[in-house]
Amino acid sequence: MYDPYVTIGHLDAHKWAIMGLCSFAMIFNYIWFFAALRQAKIDRAYSVPAFTTLFWLAGDGSFLIQFHTWFHTYHDWYPELFWFALTVTVLFEIAFTAQLVRYGRSELLPNGTQQQFTALVAFGVVIAFVVWTMVRHVIVDPLGITYFDLANVSGPIAAGALMLRRRNRAGQTPLIWFSYAAMATIWFIAQYLWFGPEFRGGEFNAISILCVVCSVAMGVIVMKMPVYVPKSAESAETKPSGVLNAV
């Protein structure tokens, strides 16, 4: 565990450097957000894995719920600015959840109805919030910094498993993953340089390297994977052949 007030002192001492560098991370973040939404619509196959979608929605949504903590308990630029940034991020995650509902039934619940699958995703959201509340209590992460590291590394790992199961690049493009890698690299550099010595330990360095390496690897692998071409908009929505044959 880190002392939040000591960490805030480090953040305040490097406020403009962090804001300047991490603004580029946000640019790459939104590039991959839009690219993922666009490719999911084109391929009619969800881009963000179900686990990642629910994990991010619960984690970021919980951060928003803690409004009083950020604006009254700590009342510092870092958590307050992150709160505003995450209001936009959560909107994207709601869109990813909607894409999961729209395109995921035939892949994840082929013998169920659309109503059943929608209810299953809604229940998954509830479960994710309950489980994350417990996890957040256990890891004792007062400013949410460790959470963001875990959220970042979950992206390429879960997506890699999804793509290997599909055996094609449905819902994925190199742009998504090279932008993701750039975003993660910038975040981890800022964290290493300016968040304080607690974030330069072996475990933080390992998770940073793992995230960046896996993200770059995803970009390279996507370039080499077979292109997914839906047979038609109608058939792709009910049963995307290039996706489901591998399930």
Where helices occur in the chain by DSSP H, the ranges are: 4-13, 15-43, 50-65, 67-68, 77-103, 105-108, 114-139, 145-166, 174-194, 202-224, 233-238, 241-244
DSSP track, 119-169: HHHHHHHHHHHHHHHHHHHHHT-TTSHHHHHHHHHHHHHHHHHHHHHHTS-
Give dist(CA 156, CA 163) in Å, integer: 10
Per-residue pLDDT at 35: 97
pTM, two decimals, is: 0.90
Give dist(CA 150, CA 156) in Å, integer: 11
Per-residue pLDDT at 243: 44
Per-residue pLDDT at 130: 97
Per-residue pLDDT at 242: 46
Contact 93, 57 (CB under 8 A): yes
Give dist(CA 102, CA 117) in Å, integer: 9
As a residue count, the chain comes to 247
Per-residue pLDDT at 99: 97
Give dist(CA 187, CA 150) in Å, integer: 12
Instruction: Give the CA distances from residue 112 to residues 11, 99, 108, 109, 128, in Å, rounded to whole numbers and listed in that order.
Output: 49, 17, 9, 5, 22
Extract the residue ranges of the chain whose pLDDT is less than 70: 231-247
Per-residue pLDDT at 232: 57
202-214 pLDDT tens trace: 999 999 999 999 9
Contact 195, 79 (CB under 8 A): no
Per-residue pLDDT at 228: 85
Phi, psi of 168 (to 5 degrees): -155, 180
Give dist(CA 162, CA 180) in Å, integer: 16
Per-residue pLDDT at 247: 33
